[in-house]
Structure 1
Amino acid sequence: MNKQNLIKVQILNAFVDNNKGGNPAGVVFDADDLSIKEKQEIAAKIGYSETAFVSKSNIADYKLDFFSPNRQIAHCGHATVATFSYLRQLNLLKKNNVTKETIDGIRKIKLKGELAYMEQLAPRYIDVQKRENMILKSLGIKKSDLWKNAPVTLVNTGNSFILIPVKNKSILRKLKPDMGLITEISDEFDLIGLYPFTLLNDNNGKDASTRMFGPRYNIMEEAGTGMAAGPLACYLFDILKLNKNRFFIQQGEFMEVPSPSLIIVELEIDNGNIKSLMAGGRGVLKMEKHIVLTRNTE
């Protein structure tokens, strides 16, 4: 016998910049009774880059599972920020330091007012020079478009991204991503996606402007990627030697439908080394949707 269930999904924009723009995520609360198959079905029907499913946890304050439209993912920065920022706005979080359980372990969450920050791990850097030409080709750029003395590098603080430093915003704007080639590269290096960026010096308080292409996860381009902004902040500190522990990362400005996002990354430095980091921002509720889920009760 089949039974239809109506699943309520909150649509929240994370990393909003002055309450505008941001990256939309689906958030499903009270998801304890949903199976992995059902969560995947809901995420596919919602269609956003990630949907978070919030359940009770015996080892943390909440358990979060993340699904893109086509697969489960270990961590998602913007869906985490959306979830915990909204919980604070609902007055369901009184503490400033809480935890989330994921399929990849427990992570710390820090609340500052309505801003939510998610813990990421100390960075790991991997040389991808052997595939540099292929990476550049996948974005439609040349070696001369890159910053000098700034290598194309894979950085992992929980998820893997390849960071590509380009000279200016004009180059960043005019990228021509080849999704098939980006998927091939992502499969080879087990990436979420490519994260091209450029440094900013226009006195607007932001350190870098970025784009994220993750077709392997059905993400053609994303407006705000907390799990990529973390690696970028580490790259800026460790490789480009920008001696600061707080970075403001802009993303989403050059999407087909622009949705500028602001991601704040705070590094924990010990004797010149990054021990861990927090990436965060604010989430804003945009709408509520209902998904019809058909369950077999036999």
Structure 2
Amino acid sequence: MIAYCEVSAFTDTPGQGNRAGVVLEAGALSEAEMQALAAFLDAPETVFVTRMQDGAVRVRYFTPTQEIDFCGHATVALGLRLAQAGHWTGGPLVLETLVGRIPLTLEAEAGVPARVWMGQRGLETRPVALGLRRDLAEALGLDERMIHRGLPLASASTGLWSVFVPLLDSMILDGLEPDLPRIHALSDALGVVSVYAYAPVGVNRFAARDFAPAVGIPEDPVTGSAAGALLALLAREGRLPVRGDRAGGVVYQGHALGTPGEVEVEVTLAGQTVQEVRVGGRAALDREGSWTWEK
């Protein structure tokens, strides 16, 4: 019997935000067993702890259909569970992932674990050919004129690659009618995990929707790693207010699916060079259970 739990990340309300499976004792599981359990839970991602030792936790991430290199919301969910289970009291903690070592910071309120912050890898970007603007718009069910010309359209990553498509406003975002097979094909052609549409709702606040059929997720409710890449991209392009060497903001996601969540992002800059990206959020335990693999 393998113990697991389901956690709502980027929210403090169970059932909202983005659901993640968390398995704290997965050291004895095979890759096939991890994949089977992820499929059983049917959360967008499930994180498996394969080793805990000396302030470092080795993890693997699975969608219901395949292993992926990293997942932001599952990392926030894991941080909360490690703290609640007494495995993490707030000191330095590093996750060992397929994208490298990810530092975690625990923020408490009144002595209770409240928010998990995770460092992201350095920002990487790739331009998107102008000829693909129409293809991306049509894949989202839009006319190309609804793309925001003052915000960056580019592929970017701080751990996982997405293509970021800016829209004029959140009403357009809410009304998207995505063509998932076409989005899948474009994702493969661009070498990204997802097509991430976003729209401004304030000076440093954005609404977003993330479509990832290429990894078996038609629409991801709330996507921490992509939010980090988006705010880092916007900061580098001078589209966020900067105080000293810091910029930041909030991404709202999940409203279209009835599971709203919030991702907080802090970006440290040296001029227009992104030095550090941190993504933070709350999490809430949904339920706990146990599973046995039946071959």
* TM-score normalized with structure 2 length: 0.91
C-alpha distance after superposition, 1:121-180 (max 9, x if no partner): 221221112422211111011221111232421111111011111111110011011110
CA distance in 2, matches of 1:246, 1:268: 9
Give the match for residue 236 of structure 2.
238
Does the CA contact (< 8 Å) of 1:265 and 1:279 recur in 2?
yes
Does the CA contact (< 8 Å) of 1:121 and 1:275 recur in 2?
no
Q: Could you tell me how far 1:58 is from its partner in structure 2?
A: 5.5
**TM alignment of 1:98-137, pairs within 5 A:** 98-113=93-108, 114-129=114-129, 130-137=131-138
1:251 maps to 2:246: no
C-alpha distance after superposition, 1:211-239 (max 9, x if no partner): 01101111111111011101111122122
CA distance in 2, matches of 1:267, 1:74: 22
C-alpha distance after superposition, 1:225-277 (max 9, x if no partner): 0111011111221225212322111100112xx10001011112224421121
| Divergent runs of 4+, >3 A | 17-20, 57-60
Q: Structure 1 residues 98 and 215 mapped into 2: Cα distance closer, same or farther (>3 Å)?
A: same
Q: Which amino acid aligns with 1:22?
A: G
Q: Structure 1 residues 227 and 103 mapped into 2: Cα distance closer, same or farther (>3 Å)?
A: same
CA distance in 2, matches of 1:293, 1:147: 48
CA distance in 2, matches of 1:126, 1:90: 40
Give the match for residue 111 of structure 2.
none
Give the match for residue 179 of structure 1.
180
**TM alignment of 1:1-298, pairs within 5 A:** 6-16=1-11, 21-57=16-52, 61-113=56-108, 114-129=114-129, 130-201=131-202, 207-244=205-242, 245-255=247-257, 258-294=258-294
Q: Could you tell me how far 1:93 is from its partner in structure 2?
A: 1.2
**Secondary structure of 2:145 counterpart:** helix
Q: Which amino acid aligns with 1:126?
A: R
The two structures, once aligned, show a CA RMSD in angstroms of: 1.9
C-alpha distance after superposition, 1:27-82 (max 9, x if no partner): 01110000111101111111111000012145852111000011101100000000
% identical aligned pairs:
27
CA distance in 1, matches of 2:128, 2:12: 33
Does the CA contact (< 8 Å) of 1:17 and 1:260 recur in 2?
no
**Secondary structure of 2:22 counterpart:** strand
**Secondary structure of 1:75 counterpart:** coil
More moved, 96-105 vs 167-176: 96-105
* TM-score normalized with structure 1 length: 0.90
Q: Could you tell me how far 1:284 is from its partner in structure 2?
A: 0.7
Does the CA contact (< 8 Å) of 1:210 and 1:249 recur in 2?
yes
Q: Which amino acid aligns with 1:27?
A: V
What are the ranges of 5 or more consecutive residues in structure 2 without an aligned counterpart?
A: 109-113
CA distance in 1, matches of 2:122, 2:51: 27
